[in-house]
Structure 1
Amino acid sequence: MIGHLYHRLPHDPSDSAGLTAYESTADTRSNWDPAIQHGSPPLALLTRAVEDLAADSGLRVGRLTLDILGAVPVAPVWLRSEVIRPGNRIALMAAEMLAARPDGSRRAVARVTAWLLAPSDTRDAATDRYPPLVEGDAAAVAHAWDGAPGYLETVSWRRQPDDGTAAVAWLTPLVPLVDDEPTTALQRLAMVVDSANGIGAALDPQQFVFMNTDTVVHLHRLPEGSDFGLRTRGSIGPDGIGVTTGEIFDRRGFIGTSAQTLLVQRQR
Structure 2
Amino acid sequence: MDLSSVAFFTLDPDGKPDGDVLLPTDLARSSWSTEQVHGVAISGALARTAERTVADLGRDDLRPARHSVDLFRPAAMKPFHLSAEVVREGPRICLVDVTLRQDGERVARASVLFLVVATPASGEVWSPTDEHRPPPAEVAPPTTEPRVPFVHSEAGWSQRFGDHQNASRKTSWSSAVPIVRGEPLTPYQAAAATADGASLVTNWGSEGVQHINTDITLALARLPRGTEVGLAALDRVEHDGIAVGTAAVFDRDGRIGEVVMTSIVNARRAVDFTRVEYADDGTVRDA
Query: Could you list the per-position Cα deviations for residues 93-148 of structure 1 after superposition, in whole angstroms to 9, with x for gaps in the alignment?
Result: 11111112xxxxx111111101111111228669864455323369xxxxxxxxxx
> Structure 1's 204 and 165: CA in aligned 2 closer, same or farther, altered over 3 A?
closer
The aligned residue for residue 30 of structure 1 is: 30
Say whether residues 1:255 and 2:256 are aligned partners.
yes
Selected match of 1:94 from 94, 97, 111: 97
Supply the distance in 2 between the matched residues of 1:171 and 1:94 (Cα, whole angstroms).
Answer: 27
Change (3 A) 1:234 1:211: farther
| Residue segments in structure 1 that go unaligned for 5+ positions in a row | 101-105, 139-153
CA 22–131 in structure 1, closer or farther in 2 if over 3 Å, else same: same
How many residue pairs match? The answer is: 244
Q: What letter matches 1:242 in structure 2?
A: A
Matched, 1:157 2:149: yes
Residue 218 of structure 1 is matched in structure 2 by 219
Q: How far off its partner does 1:61 sit?
A: 1.0
The answer to whether 1:46 aligns with 2:46 is yes
2:202 aligns with 200
- Describe how 1:227-242 pairs up with structure 2 within 5 A: 227-233=228-234, 235-242=236-243
Decide whether the 8 Å contact of 1:167 with 1:233 is kept in 2: no
Paired with 2:97 and 2:30, the residues of 1 have a C-alpha distance of: 24
Q: 1:250 to 1:52 in 2, by over 3 A?
A: same
Per the alignment, do residues 125 and 23 of structure 1 end up closer, same or farther by CA in structure 2, a change over 3 Å counting?
A: farther
Paired residue type of 1:64:
H
SS state at 1:200 partner: helix
Q: Aligned ranges for residues 87-166 of structure 1 at < 5 Å?
A: 87-100=90-103, 106-122=104-120, 129-130=128-129, 132-136=131-135, 155-162=147-154, 166=169
Residue 3 of structure 1, aligned match among 3, 6, 21: 6
Corresponding residue of 1:190: 192
Gaps of 5+ in 2: 138-145, 157-166, 270-287
- Contact kept, 8 Å, 1:37 with 1:74, in 2: the verdict is yes
Aligned pairs (5 A) from 1:159-174: 159-162=151-154, 166-173=169-176
8 Å contact 1:201–1:233 — kept in the other structure? no
Please state whether the residue corresponding to 2:190 is helix, strand or coil: helix
**Distance of 1:201 and 1:27 partners within structure 2:** 22
Report runs of 4+ in structure 1 exceeding 4 Å deviation.
Answer: 123-128
Structure-2 separation of matches of 1:12 and 1:169: 35
**Counterpart amino acid of residue 41 in structure 2:** P
Compute the displacement of 1:188 (Å): 1.2
- Distance, in Å, in 1 between the alignment partners of 2:266 and 2:7 is 32
* Aligned position for 1:146: none
Task: Report the alpha carbon displacement of residue 64 of structure 1 after superposing the two structures with TM.
Answer: 0.3
- For normalisation by structure 1, the TM-score amounts to 0.81
Distance 2:207 2:68 in 1: 25
Q: Percent identity?
A: 26
